[in-house]
Amino acid sequence: MSSDLPRLRLGAALGALLLALGAPTPAAPSAPVPAVRGKVFLTMEEALELAFPGCEVERDKQFLSKAERARAEELAGCELESSIAYVYSATREGKPIGTAYFDAHRVRTKRETVMIVVAPDATIQRLEILAFAEPLDYLPGGGWYAQYLGKRLDDDLSLKRGIRGITGATLTAQATTRAARRVLAVHQVLGER
């Protein structure tokens, strides 16, 4: 066994790895694909362009009354961060494509900012992580976030039902699920006006 892994070979590998740490960073890909390069993956503008290519996007500010906020919180099952909703409605040739909302929330001690696009049928059409200030070890990988697509505001949108948790990133999973519920709840309340 020891002959398989001679000391010098592994020592050299360690040296090479340490040297590689200082190598220049390769150019970032041009496509706006989230990458593990730090905390900010996409700006708001980039995220909207990614979600609504070729669409007209109208920004609107909506102030929730106390009663509306209370109703949204009841629907979401958690508190809203604010009574102001920033609504980005996308249309193509006059036809509604989706409505984007942004939600910034604390994960452990730092923030995660997500964009959630609600489809005309009130399901989640897209979820993008725009910024993640916690160590990236707490950012779920793989296709974990894809679980939210197609979910609507019901009991299935929960870590105990339709969203599967992830060991080691439990707080991120909870924070993201709460954000999804908040967004769908606000969208519903605004639609009830």
Partner 1 sequence: MTRSLLARPAVGLVTTASLLLGAPLASANGEEPPEEPKQDRTVLERVEALEQENKELKAGRAEDQARIEQLEGQVDVLGDEFEQISFRDIVPVIGDSYYGLGLGASKVYSLDQPGISIGGYGEMLYENFNGSTTDEIDFLRAVVYVGYKFNDDWVFNSEIEFEHASTDKGGSASVEFATLDRLINDAINARAGLLLNPMGFVNELHEPTAYLTATRSITETRIIPSTWRENGAGVYGEAGGVSYRAYVMNGLDAMGFTAQGLRGGRQKGSQALADDFALVVRGDWVGTPGLIVGGSVYMGDSGQGQMGLGATGTSIYEVHAEYRAGGVWARALAAMAELDDVAQLNAALGNTGAQSVGEELEGAYVEVGYDLLSLFDADSESSLSPYVRFETFDTQAAVPAGFSSDPLNDDEILTLGVNYQPISQIAIKLDYQDWDRGTDRWSLQLGYVF
Which window, 80-88, 91-99, 119-127, 182-190, contacts partner 1 (CB under 8 A)?
Answer: 80-88
Residue in 129, 161, 133, 132 with CA at minimum distance from that of residue 146: 129
> Binding residue for partner 1 (CB under 8 A) from 32, 77, 87, 122?
77
Residue in 162, 180, 174, 104 with CA at minimum distance from that of residue 138: 174
φ, ψ of residue 152 to 5 degrees: the values are: -120, 180
Which window, 65-73, 104-112, 118-126, 183-191, contacts partner 1 (CB under 8 A)?
Answer: 104-112
Closest distance of CB 53 from partner 1, Å: 14
Residue pair 92/112 in contact by the 8 Å Cβ criterion: no
Which window, 7-15, 64-72, 117-125, 183-191, contacts partner 1 (CB under 8 A)?
Answer: 7-15
Is residue 170 involved in binding partner 1 (CB under 8 A)?
yes
Alpha helices in 40-169 (DSSP H): 44-51, 66-76
Nearer to partner 1 among residue 122 and residue 131 (C-beta): 131
> Binding residue for partner 1 (CB under 8 A) from 102, 117, 151, 153?
102
What distance in Å separates the CA atoms of residue 181 and residue 176, rounded to the nearest whole number? Answer: 9
Cα 62 to Cα 69, 90, 189, distances in angstroms: 11, 16, 11
The residue count for binding partner 1 (CB under 8 A) is 75
String of contacts with partner 1 for each residue 118-137, x by CB under 8 A: ------------xx-xxxxx
